[in-house]
Amino acid sequence: MAAVKKIQIYDTTLRDGCQSEDVSLTVEDKVQIARKLDDLGVDYIEGGWPGSNERDAAFFREVKKARLKHARVAAFGSTRRANIKASQDRNLHLLLKADTPVATVVGKTWDLHVREALRISNQANLEILHDTIAFLKKHVDEAILDAEHFFDGYYNNPDFALACLRAAEDAGADLICLCDTNGGRLPHEIEDAVRVAAETVKCPLGIHCHNDSEVAVANSIAAVRAGAVQVQGTINGLGERCGNANLVSIIPDLQLKLGYQCVAPQKLKALQEVSMLVYELANITPHPRQPYVGRSAFAHKAGLHVSGIQRDARTYEHVDPALVGNDRRVLLSELSGRANIVYKSKEFGLDIAQNNEKIGHLLDELKRLESEGYSFEGADASFELLMLRTLGLAREYFKFVSFRVFDDKWHEDRAPFSEAVVVIEGPDGRRSRTAAIGNGPVNALDSALRQALVPYYPSLEAMELSDYKVRVLSNGGAGGTGARVRVLIESSDGKRRWGTVGVSANVVDASWQALVDSVEYKLHKDNVKPRVKAHPAGANSRHRSKRAATRGEPAQSGA
C-alpha cells in the first residue's frame, strides 16, 4: 500500500491576512491564533515582517513563550537591496533578529518588475536572489524563497523566470514557493507552469495564490497535482485586495477528496473552530455560505433534499459535516415538506410518526406564518415552541396581560430613553405590574419582562440578548414606515445560543413576540418549575394573544 503523500500547510494569516483592509490584529490576537493553528496541525506559521513594524517584532518575542508543539514559525522579509551585499542589508538583519527557525523572503521573478520596479539588469536580479538565500542559510534552519509574480513572469519570459528558480536552488534554498501574486492566472496555467518548474529544479516547490479571479483554491489544488509539496494561504481567505487562497477549503479538499495528508485526521474536526476564532478576532461576521465550515454549508431547505438525507446523507452532502467540525441543519420555510418536520422533531427530541395528522397541521401553520412574513431559518427556538403548541405539548409559564412603552427625549443634546410597563399573570395566578427604563423600547421591555419573571424563574438572570435584527417586509400592505417588519433576536445564557422571531406592523410588538419566545424557550430547555405552585391555565391563551396583533387585531392597552 502506497504511503499517503504529505502536503505542508504554510499559514500566512498573521502577515498576508493582516493586509486585508478591514483586519487589524493585536499581538495578543496573533499569539492566540498561532496557538490554535498549532493545535490544528499547521506546519508553518508566518508571523509577519519584523522589519516593517514594531507589532510584528513584538509577536516574534511573545510567540516564543507560547511553546508551540508542532508548527515552525517563519519570519518574512525581502531579498537584499541592489548594489549592497546581503550581509550589509539592514532588513535582512532585522529578519534574523526575529530568531525564527525559518526565514522566508520575497524576490522578483518577472522581468517586468526587475526592469520597471528595481531598475536593474536581469543578471543583477539573479545575483540578488543567490546572495540573499546563501546569506540566510548561514543563520537559519530553513530558507524559503517566495518567487513573486512567478506565473506572470513565466508566461512572459519563461527563460528568465526559470533562471531565477535555479539561482535560488544553487544558493541552497530549502523550498521555492511559486506565487500568483496578482491572482490572475487560471488552473490550467498554474498546473502547466508548476510541472515545468518541477522539471527545471530539484528543490521542493510550494504554491502561493491570490484570489483576484476567484480561483485561488482551485489554483492551489492544481499546483499540488503538478508536484507542489507546500501550500501557502490564510484562514478564511483573508488577504490584500480579494484575499489569499483559503486554507479552510484547501485542507479538506486535499485531504478528504484527493487523499493527501495535511493535518492529522482527528485534528480536521477543529477546522470550523479555527475559522470562527479568526473571524471573531478580526471582527468580521462569519460568511454563512463558506464551504465546509459556514453555517449554511450543510443546511437543507427543500423537502426533497431533507427526505434524501434521512435515507442516506450522501444524497445531498459531499462530505460528513462532522469531519470538519460542522453540523447538519434542516431549515423550515414555505419549501418545507413532511420530511423537514419529522427531522426537526427528532432534533428537538420528539418522535413523531410521519403520517401523524398533526404534522400536516404544523406544516400548514408554518406555511401560513411564512406567508405573513415569519422566517424560521434563523429562529429554530420559535419553531420548536410552535411545534410544541401545535402538538399540545407546550407549558404555560405565565400569561400576558398588557404592556406599554414610553419614549422620551428631553433635550436635543441628550440621548432619548424608554420606559416599559409590563403586566403579566404569574404561574400562581397573581398579576404583577413591572416597570423598567432602558436605552430603547426593546431594552426596556426585556428588562421589565425579566424583572417580572425572575422571582418565579431565577435562571432567567443568566439570559441576555446577543443580537437584534429588523427587516422591513415588502409583501403587500402599507409601505415605508407603515410596512410590516420582521424582528430576529438571538439570545444566550452562557451555555447555548438560540434565535426567535416576531412579525408585526409595529416594531415594538414584533420585538415583544421574539422576546417572549426567547424567554419561554429558555424556560422550556431548562425544564424549570416556578418557585410557587402554578394554578391551572389554558395552554394556548398566551399564544393567541401574542399572534393577535400580527393579524391586525387591537392590542390590549393600559397597565
C-alpha to C-alpha distance for 442 and 468, rounded to whole angstroms:
10
CB 237 within 8 A of CB 211: yes
Tell me 423's DSSP state.
E
Nearest CA to 517 out of 486, 557, 541, 490 is that of 490
Q: What is the model's pTM?
A: 0.70
- The pair phi, psi for residue 432, each rounded to 5°, is -135, 145
Instruction: In whole angstroms, give the CA distance from residue 392 to residue 4.
Output: 56
Secondary structure (DSSP) of 247-277: HHHHHHIIIIIS--BSS-GGGGGGHHHHHHH
Q: Are 244 and 216 in contact (CB under 8 A)?
A: yes
Sheet strands side by side (includes 431-438) = 399-408, 417-425, 431-438
Gap between the Cα atoms of 200 and 182, Å rounded: 23
Instruction: Decide: 308 and 315 in contact? Cβ < 8 Å.
Output: yes
DSSP 506-544: SHHHHHHHHHHHHHHHHHHHHT---SSPPPP--TTHHHH
Average pLDDT, consecutive stretches of 10 residues, N- to C-terminus, the chain (559 residues):
85 96 92 96 96 87 95 97 95 96 98 96 98 98 98 98 98 98 98 98 98 98 98 98 98 97 95 92 90 86 66 84 83 56 68 65 78 80 86 88 91 86 94 93 94 94 89 66 84 90 93 95 87 46 35 30
DSSP reduced 3-state for 12: coil
Residue 127's contacts (CB-CB under 8 Å, 6 or more residues apart) are 167
Give the three-state DSSP class for 107: strand
Q: List Cα–Cα distances, 204 to 20, 105, 159, 232, 355, in angstroms.
A: 29, 16, 19, 14, 61
Report pLDDT for 409: 82
Q: What pLDDT is attached to residue 412?
A: 82
All domains of the chain, ordered by start, with CATH? 8-282 (3.20.20.70), 299-371 (no CATH), 399-551 (3.30.160.270)
What is the bridge-based pairing of β-strands 464-472 and 431-438?
unpaired
Q: For residue 176, what pLDDT is reported?
A: 98
Widest Cα–Cα separation across the chain: 92
CB 487 within 8 A of CB 507: yes
Could you tell me the sign of the dihedral formed by the alpha carbons of 94, 98, 103, 109, in that order?
negative
What distances in angstroms separate CA 6 from CA 55, 254, 267, 456, one per listed residue?
33, 10, 15, 59
Q: Please, what is the end-to-end C-alpha distance for the chain in angstroms?
A: 78
Crossing angle for the helix pair 338-347 and 303-311, to the nearest 10 degrees: 60
Q: Give dist(CA 77, CA 55) in Å, integer.
A: 15
Per residue, the 3-state secondary structure of 232-251, as one string, reads EEEHHHCCCCCCECEHHHHH
CA atoms in the 13 A half-sphere facing the CB of 461: 6
Residue 106 dihedral angles phi and psi, to the nearest 5°? -95, 135
Q: What is the rounded CA–CA span in Å between residue 552 and residue 398?
A: 23
Q: How many CB atoms lie within 10 A of CB 88?
A: 11
Count CA within 13 A, CB hemisphere, residue 435. 7
C-alpha–C-alpha distance, residues 111 and 117, integer Å: 10
Burial of 116 (0-12, 13-18, 19+ CB in 10 A): exposed
3-state secondary structure 40-95: HCCCEEEEECCCCCHHHHHHHHHHHHHCCCCCEEEEEEECCCCCCCHHHCHHHHHH
Distance of CA 379 to the CA centre of its chain: 19
Mutual orientation of helices 271-282 and 27-40 as an angle, nearest 10°?
Answer: 170
CA–CA–CA angle 310, 316, 321 (5° rounding): 85
| 161-177 as b/e: b if 16+ CB within 10 A | bbbbbbbbbebebbbbb
- Cell, residue 209: 495564490
The Cα 66–Cα 348 span in angstroms is: 41
Q: 417 burial class (0-12, 13-18, 19+ CB within 10 angstroms)?
A: middle
Q: Which DSSP letter does residue 6 get?
A: B
What stretch of H or E contains 309? Answer: helix 303-311
